Amino acid sequence: MAKPKKQPRPKAQTPKGFRDYFGAEVTQRAEMLQEIAGVYHRYGFDALESSAVETVEALGKFLPDVDRPNEGVFGWQEEEGDWLALRYDLTAPLARVFAQHRNDLPTPYRRYAMGPVWRNEKPGPGRYRQFYQCDADTVGSASMAADAEICAMLSDTLEAVGIARGDYQIRVNNRKVLNGVLEAMGLADDSQRDAVLRTIDKFDKVGEAGVRELLGKGRLDASGAYIDGVGLSEAQADPVVAFLTSGGESAAATLDNLRAAVSGSAVGGAGIDELEQIADLLAAQGYGPDRIALDPSVVRGLGYYTGPVYEAELTFDILDEKGRKRQFGSVAGGGRYDDLIKRFTGQEVPATGVSIGVDRLLAALREKGRIEAVDRGPVVVTVMDRDRMADYQAMVAELRNAGIRAEVYLGNPKNFGNQLKYADRRNSPVAVIEGGEEKDAGIVQIKDLILGAKIAENATLEEWKERPSQFEVARGDLVARVREILDGQG
């Protein structure tokens, strides 16, 4: 009889394009989302937690290069034949929720949502298939006041989480103005229109001359490779360049330049009027161009935007992996999507909203030193005598009841050095020590691990032997002295 083949052990590895999040990252994200939720709540928005799974029909086909139901999303087919998929953003589920529950919801409906989304795309450096988004949307209002409010709220949100004024700018444009430019160019070919949009999106990188080349015959990129152009004449390219370079020193100057760029286009004129309303509403609330500015170069990629679009860009420099300076870039974007809910209801329902890239915003806060890369661990109560575990648990209970994060060492207590190594790996600020002699004397030893690490780095051996970072206190003063150390550590 053949011997049964032994099953290989599964590989302990994260699937490609996914990652694991550990203590500090999870805690920092939760705290940041709580700050954001506080701003949204103050603006009158309600929380919504919708299903992570939607029908592919409900999600629609707004991801790029999606020709089949199971491309671009993680989808599967039910036995009944329906295709289901993990949501790829938080906006498409909102459209379904509002269409389904519109008779029970107030109109306008203002909601915010936070959670993971999934995209079945090719992963790359810093590009994952699962990531967090944080959205806020107003459904049921065609007023530009809704768009202005989203921009103002986004500004307040960035400042609330720690992005200082001057380190960011929210840039606002309008797809109607862009459509007016395309109309003025006389482009009937959708593929050419899409190519023009992609070229406009490169304006920040290649500048006016580069855009002209890409709209025409093409250009050599930085690597020396030749990029084919759209093939437009200079006369056709002129409206695009005029549009992209219409930014002025004030909102009024920008609007005047835009009117000249799209003269004769009704849809372009309507878009400029909407931008003017938004600029006036923001100015009335005290949001100047240092925080929110009109910028014709903003082009949002998703196909469902129908009016104002906006993007939050962080303007401070960071160093890349090669030590070169570059700007951090965009951390949020959104706009008006008046046709999305119509797919369900058959009637146009105006809507506008913004989505924050949570992971990118967290990375920005780390770059600015607003949050530490490593979270502070708990106070560790060491174990000197196995038979006195109840005493140690009593200590940790007192610390926890005082609001201090603390734990008892639960490993093998035989080697005390290993207990301190454990505390170091936990990034613990304080260790509490009570042996039999301390117990009889009614005292405990408190070791300031942060100060001890600094002394170990800089002090001579003789200075270290004095152990100024460790001292004894009365057992009854344990909580007060630990609190004092933690406060001193900041």
* pLDDT on residue 436: 93
In this structure, are residues 432 and 419 in contact, taking their beta carbons and an 8 Å threshold? no
- The dihedral of CA 338, 341, 345, 350: what is its sign? negative
Q: Please check whether residue 111 is in contact with residue 47, taking contact to mean a CB–CB distance below 8 angstroms.
A: yes
Tell the residue number behind the tokens 């090669």, with chain if given.
322
Q: For residues 208 and 5, give the distance between their C-alpha atoms in angstroms, rounded to a whole number.
A: 66
Give the span between the Cα atoms of 318 and 367, in whole angstroms.
7
What are the pLDDT tens digits along the chain (490 aa)? 567 778 888 999 999 999 999 888 899 999 999 999 999 999 999 999 999 999 988 887 655 444 444 578 898 888 888 889 999 999 999 999 999 999 999 999 999 999 999 998 888 777 889 999 999 999 999 999 999 999 999 999 999 999 999 999 999 999 898 888 888 777 656 677 777 877 877 787 788 888 888 888 888 777 778 888 877 778 778 888 888 888 888 889 889 888 888 877 899 899 999 999 999 999 999 999 999 999 888 877 656 789 999 999 998 877 666 667 777 788 999 999 998 899 899 999 999 999 999 999 998 888 888 777 667 899 999 999 999 999 999 999 999 999 999 999 999 988 999 999 999 999 999 999 999 999 999 999 999 998 877 776 665 545 545 556 888 999 999 999 999 999 988 7
Q: Give burial (CB, 10 Å; 0-12/13-18/19+) of 314.
A: buried
Residue 180 pLDDT: 85
Query: Residues with Cβ < 8 Å from 255, sequence gap 6 or more?
Result: 272, 275, 276, 279, 294
The single residue listed with the structure tokens 């949204």 is 40
Q: What's the distance, CA 174 to chain centroid? A: 23
Q: What is the pLDDT of residue 170?
A: 96
Residues 6+ apart with CB under 8 A from 283: 251
Report strand pairing: 308-319 vs 292-294: unpaired
Q: What digits encode the pLDDT tens for the residues 166-188? A: 999 999 999 898 888 888 777 65
Q: In this predicted model, what pLDDT tens digit does every residue of 432-446 receive, in sequence order?
A: 999 999 999 999 999
For each of the domains in the chain, give its residue range(s) and CATH number, in order of start.
23-186+236-367 (3.30.930.10), 379-489 (3.40.50.800)
What are residue 218's DSSP bridge partners?
228
The span from the CA of 49 to the CA of 47, in Å, is: 7
Q: Whole-angstrom Cα distance, residue 183 to residue 268?
A: 9
Q: Give the pLDDT score at 465.
A: 52
The pLDDT assigned to 68 comes to 47
The Cα–Cα gap between 17 and 245 comes to 38
3-class DSSP state of 310: strand
Distance, CA of 173 to CA of 384 (rounded, Å) = 66
Nearest 5°: the CA angle 82, 87, 90 is: 135
Amino acid at 92: A
Q: Residue type for 22, please?
A: F
Cβ neighbour number for residue 223 with a 10 Å cutoff: 5
Q: Number of helices and strands (H, E) in the chain?
A: 18, 18
Look at residue 65 in the predicted model and tell me its pLDDT.
45
